[in-house]
Amino acid sequence: MGLASDTEVRTTEGDKRVGDVQIGDILYDAQNRQTECIGVAPPATGKLKKITYTQFNSRKRSSFTCTPDHRLTLTTTGISPCISGKSIPWFTRCDRKLAVKEACDLNLDILCDYFYQDLVDGDNHPEPAAVHAHIDTVLKQKYYPGHKDEYSERIDEYLKVAHASVLDREAIDAIHAGMDSYLEWMASMDIYLEQLSTRRAEAEDVDSADEVLDIDEPTKLNGMCSVIRALTLPRPANSCVGDPIAPGPEYCFPETPFVEWDMPSSQSTHSYISSSQLPQPDDDPQPDDAPRSSSPLSDSSSMSLDNAAADRFAAIRKSLESSNCDCGGLRKVHRRFKTEDLAQRALKILQSDHYHLIDPLMVRDDEEFSMTVEENERLCCEVVKHIHLKLHRAPLGFDPSTVSSCPLPLDPFFLGLWIGDGSADSTRITSSASDPETRVWLQSYVDRLNSCRPQDTPQLHLAITRVHAAGTERGNGIVCNSDAFYYRIACPQGGWYAWNPVLDGLRKLGLLGNKTAGIPDAYMDADEDTRLAVVAGLIVSDGSYDKSHNQYRFQQNTEDHKKIVYDLQKLAKGCGISVSDVHEAIITTALTNGRPTPTYTVYLGKGSEKFQKHLLLPRKKMNLEHTYKCHDARPFTVSDAPAGEYRAIQVRGGQFQLANRLVVCDCQLNSCSVGTATQDHSAEVPGYSLDDALSTK
């Protein structure tokens, strides 16, 4: 496995071809942490596949090439469980043999529920401290390994699925941590049920007298088993528990009668599911001559309430096991409940950390899948392949400069303001009377400079000149909506040698009379807050806020200002802000006096909240509550590519970034056939160091 040798990856030295990466080079992992290359293979030639996707924050198509057995790092999107009437669709893993951790979580939840219900029998609202004290008492006084009493059996079963040989401190801490999670979930469930009850009471079109309750009032519910009792066991019509459930991910269960149950008493047996009762892919269906009953819970007159309730969940899980596929992907399933209220409660469980009670293998948004290109092509669900499993990039973040910082001659916000709205040959800035914040800030900047002026030098002042009155028509046909002013930081002494650090700063940066230079390198390589202040100055001067998309648009006309836009794009991206490609076009408007003029436009989106503290104008403040669509994941297609050269590299951690931050898997050189590989074995072989490897480069 490997990537085409000309594929560029992101390193601390800049972008570098895969073919040029050597042991000791520092790349970046999926979390933007530095990761070291510890192995390389010689170039090889063979069959390749082309992975094509839309570039991030762009409409351009991009691609990279790799071998068919190269592993892709994919993330899930758009698969959160939802509700439609009485039906709940969600996504689950195709391979039903992956339930080891989920089985452990399920047993821990049930064990915590068992402890909790013991106290609920005597106190409907036990304090967390009392619950934890009860756990310690049981573990010290009532747990006997290997015994068949109710406590010991349940604790032994949990230890078994948790792969713990004894009840040591780690296992005890895990039980207490599980109880903390359980109590947090119970609190949120109580609030939800109270809100649900309130909404039902407020509904004018519902006659509460005619409402049929399947369980006691929601506000009286206590414990996870009470929630379980609220769920209707979905089964095909005219069937019983012994009948196998019809396979198929899209099967929709018809409504079935619901059996009313009493609330548990202190003598009832608590629900518990052992690992042997968990659904297994190889379980055989019940034989045809097995006892049957017309009851949806079979002959359960002697079955305890909680076991019956647990069987409802087991039946849902069992229905999912009837369709097993080893493609390694995921599929969509639907299950329908008797009432919308029951479906709402089931949805609440699926959305919580206790989703494994219903489906141990449910898949959520942002879960990571790793599969080869060939395995991806063999996925059983086309919708999942093309919509829900996507390539993703590492999160955008601040990229610190490798260049040593130097003193900055100008305030970074002033620099951005001047580049956008300043006169190239002076300190003058043009602004509108409708934006008085600009005038106030400039005066405060003058005051700051005066506070540290050299001895015996005159103070700077802010010279203000009105150049256009409101309603005035300018030469290009544009009418001013408000007064326009020139604000110039000047020294009243005048003359070429008068003290003016702003004018001197522009001259020192090479900008005076020369805006084609763009943003000076000293500011491009500065700390994050300095860069953000420059961005804010540019947005205040020549940027506009697009409220509908909660993004900023920055545009410059003429070839002389082209570099300003490209520098802003780079500066914002380096601060972790999503930016678009620079759009170049030729326009003819009143602003260009009717002459065709090149224009350059860039958009800033997610991450722009970082520079809000530097923005002066309220009308340009963004909506911080806006939720962005996922811009960090992209669907992709796979196609054949001509045979060519590829190369495998290995990094610590197993993942690294391409030049555009796309996350890819490395090649485990001890298991892939790409020729004789060079690896850094300094971690395993005594006497071998990274310096030895570097000396051979």
Could you tell me the CATH number of the domain that includes residue 64?
2.170.16.10
What pLDDT does residue 552 have?
Answer: 96
**Is residue 627, in this structure, part of any structural domain at all?**
no
185 and 325 belong to one structural domain: yes
When mean pLDDT is compared over 279-293, 306-320, 465-479, the highest value belongs to 465-479
660 and 605 belong to one structural domain: no
Distance CA 141, CA 138 (A): 5
**Is residue 374, in this structure, part of any structural domain at all?**
no
Question: Which range marks the domain in which residue 651 is found?
Answer: 3-77+635-695
When mean pLDDT is compared over 46-55, 96-105, 117-126, 329-338, the highest value belongs to 46-55
pTM of structure: 0.61
Last residue of a domain, one of 586, 620, 654: 620
Structure token digits, residue 635: 């669907």
**Is residue 539, in this structure, part of any structural domain at all?**
yes
Distance CA 193, CA 344 (A): 10
Statement: residue 650 has pLDDT above 70: yes
Per-residue model confidence as pLDDT tens digits over 353-393: 888 888 889 999 999 999 999 999 999 989 999 999 999 99
**Is residue 370, in this structure, part of any structural domain at all?**
no
Mean pLDDT computed over every residue of the chain: 77
What is the helix (H) or strand (E) element at residue 524, kind and residue range?
helix 521-524
Statement: residue 162 has pLDDT above 60: yes
Last residue of a domain, one of 566, 588, 620: 620
**Is residue 652, in this structure, part of any structural domain at all?**
yes
**Is residue 390, in this structure, part of any structural domain at all?**
no
Cα-to-chain-centroid distance, residue 422: 40
174 and 25 belong to one structural domain: no
Could you tell me the CATH number of the domain that includes residue 464?
3.10.28.10
Could you write out the three-class secondary structure of 433-478? Answer: CCCHHHHHHHHHHHHHHHHCCCCCCCCCEEEEEEEECCCCECCCCC
Contact 32, 397 (CB under 8 A): yes
Question: How far from 331 is each of 30, 91, 220, 243, 363, CA to CA, in Å?
Answer: 26, 5, 37, 24, 9
Mean pLDDT of 668-683: 49
The residue whose two tokens read 């990761």 is 35
Per-residue model confidence as pLDDT tens digits over 489-522: 998 775 556 789 999 999 999 999 999 999 999 9
Structure token digits, residue 194: 């109270």
Last residue of a domain, one of 561, 595, 620: 620
Contact 527, 405 (CB under 8 A): yes
504 and 642 belong to one structural domain: no
What pLDDT does residue 306 have?
Answer: 41
135 and 59 belong to one structural domain: no
Per-residue model confidence as pLDDT tens digits over 520-556: 999 999 999 999 999 999 999 999 999 988 999 999 9
Cα-to-chain-centroid distance, residue 151: 41
What pLDDT does residue 473 have?
Answer: 77
- Strands in 71-208 per DSSP E: 71-76, 87-93
655 and 536 belong to one structural domain: no
Statement: residue 427 has pLDDT above 80: yes
What pLDDT does residue 212 have?
Answer: 28
359 and 419 belong to one structural domain: no
Question: How far from 212 is each of 108, 200, 339, 475, CA to CA, in Å?
Answer: 34, 13, 10, 77
**Is residue 282, in this structure, part of any structural domain at all?**
yes
Mean pLDDT of 184-210: 50
**Is residue 229, in this structure, part of any structural domain at all?**
yes
Contact 158, 112 (CB under 8 A): no
